[in-house]
Amino acid sequence: MSSLSAEMRDKLRKWREENYRNSEQIVDVGEELINEHASKLGDDIWIIYEQVMIAALDCSRDDLALSCLQELKRQFPDSHRVKRLVGMRLEALERYEDANKLYDSILQDDPTNTAARKRKIAILKAQGKSTEAIRELNEYLEQFVGDLEAWHELSELYINEHDYAKAAFCLEELMMTNPHNHLYCEQYAEVKYTQGGLENLELSRKYFAQALKLNNRNMRALFGLYMSASHIAASPKVSAKVKKDNVKYAAWAATQINRAYQVRERAVGTKSPLI
Amino acid sequence: MLYGTGVSHQCGNCEWRIWSDFKTMTVKLTTQAYCKMLLHAAKYPHCAVNGLLVAERQRERRRDGHGVPVLYVDCVPLFHGTLALAPMLEVALNLIDTWCKENRYVIAGYYQANERIKDFRPNQVAEKVAARISENFSEATLIVVDNSKFTMDCYEPILTIFEHHENKWKCRDSTGDCCEDWVEAQKITAALLESRSYENLIDFDNHLDDLRNDWTNPEINKSVLHLC
């Protein structure tokens, strides 16, 4: 296989595995790969058709989406996975009723089809029906309690509705099953901070610190530690000891932040705005 | 000059309405500010985005009804995705405020482009941040990008401007254009969209991911200047 097409193939794989939504680039690379190098792709071509089709929908390239879809339909005529793609195209055309009918037919055939259920929830989201989306997603999670992506989606829906307590609950589920994931820790801390109140601030400071322990380059965690400790230290409700401790934490965080910016200055060569 | 809402006068056989500057834009944007706002929205078409608008600091602003419009000279893109969390917003406001002071600017406005195309109303986040900005700059405006009008060619201005009146954010008549030089803004924004310059636009989220990312966007500022 020529190195160019191998490089393109690797790019697409990386974007697929890491779930990037850089649809314009996927369309650029994918379209060329399909048009010029299809013969070299082997069985990979089907997953690439799927990836490019979805990206094409994002870029309003219905022509490209249709041609990918046709290839997939031809190869996998009775596939639910392909049917879901047909549904996604209907969604992109805002034909939500037709899309829902399609997903319902998949679910009639296979009630455990999680992809179809998620698309139905996505439709509710697209229509601005956040309350219904939240309700459906909760029902889904009662059945599929281990679906991390769904818990994360639910936490985001709650955050957008300013229901921080429920968002925190979702993130707690995620942290329980992924105790080493610094991002969940850090997001949980942000939610607690936003909820406000002394108790939540202290919790947020603890989780920012935890996120930092798991990944000492997480700038959000570092900034969060500084902000939460500063707020606690400034609160009139805390004891002298708590105040003293938090002043110390904030000072430590500030030093680390300044150090990080100094390293950055050396790397970039220009002065940056500091605290 | 009469201030306040439209008042009609009868003068002989003719009647004419005297409007206060309700019809004239009290807000103008430089090409750089307008451009970067749109590039931010274009970079993340599937997300809500928000950011701050800055004006030059003046020692005192005249408080008469036909004041000079506030000129937004630059824009600082903030976040994409989840906008409703407080800590990083506070960090951003602090850092950007410091930068403003060093550059004789003041944070004077806020913009937001919502996640869904047809959603062009300011939400709770927008109102909260804009209110916060108003504490420091009483004429702060809240700008919402009308996603449904957003095209590559930028044929029309796509901003809806909200001002604070009687404790509510009220939409200003948006038939006027809000750019200092609309023809220039339209031409340059279209050119930068075409060349996909939005891929290089840096927002505060990008900065937090990697401190080397510069949210003042010097490269894009240079591109705008070159095209002027």
| Interface probe, candidates A190, A205, A217, A226, chain B, greatest B C-beta count within 10 A | A190
Residue B183: exposed, middle, or buried by beta-carbon count in 10 A (0-12, 13-18, 19+)? exposed
- Between chains, do A273 and B82 touch, taking CB under 8 Å as contact? no
pLDDT by position in tens, chain A (length 275): 578 888 999 999 999 999 999 999 999 999 999 998 888 888 899 999 999 999 999 999 999 999 999 999 999 999 999 999 999 999 999 999 999 999 999 999 999 999 999 999 999 999 999 999 999 999 999 999 999 999 999 999 999 999 999 999 999 999 999 999 999 999 999 999 999 999 999 999 999 999 999 999 999 999 999 999 999 999 999 999 999 999 999 999 999 999 999 998 888 776 655 54
pLDDT of residue B67: 63
Give A130's contacts (C-beta < 8 A, 6+ positions apart). A124, A157, A160, A161
Distance CA B144, CA B123 (A): 10
Question: Which pLDDT does position A268 carry in this prediction?
Answer: 75
CA pair distance A249, A243, nearest whole angstrom = 10
First-to-last alpha carbon distance for chain A, in angstroms, is 52
Question: B181 and B31 in contact (C-beta within 8 Å)?
Answer: yes
What is the nearest CA distance from B202 to chain A, expressed in angstroms?
14
Are B88 and A272 within 8 A, CB to CB?
no
* DSSP bridge partners of B11: B14
B90 → chain A, closest CA residue: A227
Tokens representing residue B192 in the block = 């930068």
A274–B102 CB contact, under 8 Å: no
**How deeply is B118 buried, as exposed, middle or buried, from its count of CB atoms within 10 A (0-12, 13-18, 19+)?**
exposed
* pTM, 2 dp: 0.90
Helix (H) or strand (E) holding A206: helix A198-214
| Per-residue pLDDT, A265 | 84
Q: Could you give the dihedral angle defined by the CA atoms of residues A196, A202, A203 and A204, in that order, rounded to the nearest 10 degrees? A: 70
| Residue that the structure tokens 């506030």 belong to | B70
The model's pLDDT over B1-60, given as tens digits with 9 standing for 90+, comes to 233 333 333 333 333 333 333 445 578 999 999 999 999 999 999 999 999 999 998 765
B interface with A, Cβ–Cβ below 8 Å:
45-46, 82, 84-88, 90-91, 94-96, 98-99, 102, 116, 119, 124, 196, 208-209, 211-212, 214
Residue that is written with structure tokens 């913009």 in the block:
B111
> Which is nearest to A124 in space by CA: A103, A152, A151?
A103
Residue listed under structure tokens 């059945």: A143
The answer to whether the Cβ–Cβ distance between B84 and A223 falls below 8 Å is: no
Both tokens assigned to A72:
């997939």
Q: Give CA–CA dist B217/B74, Å, rounded.
A: 10
Contact status of A28 with chain B (Cβ, < 8 Å) = no
Which residues contact residue B199 at a Cβ distance below 8 angstroms, ignoring those fewer than 6 apart?
Answer: B43
pLDDT at A228: 97
Q: Which of residues 206-225 of A touch B (CB under 8 A)?
A: 219-220, 223-224
Could you tell me which residues come within 8 angstroms of residue A135 by beta carbon, excluding any fewer than 6 positions away?
A: none
pLDDT, position B214: 95
Q: List the beta bridge partners of residue B164.
A: B169
pLDDT at B123: 93
Q: Tens of pLDDT along chain B (228 residues)?
A: 233 333 333 333 333 333 333 445 578 999 999 999 999 999 999 999 999 999 998 765 555 545 678 899 999 999 999 999 999 999 999 999 999 999 999 999 999 999 999 888 899 999 999 999 999 998 899 999 999 989 888 888 889 999 888 788 888 866 567 888 889 999 999 999 999 999 999 999 999 999 999 999 999 999 999 988
Q: Do B87 and A194 touch (CB under 8 A)?
A: yes
User: B208–A220: do the CB atoms touch at under 8 Å?
Assistant: yes
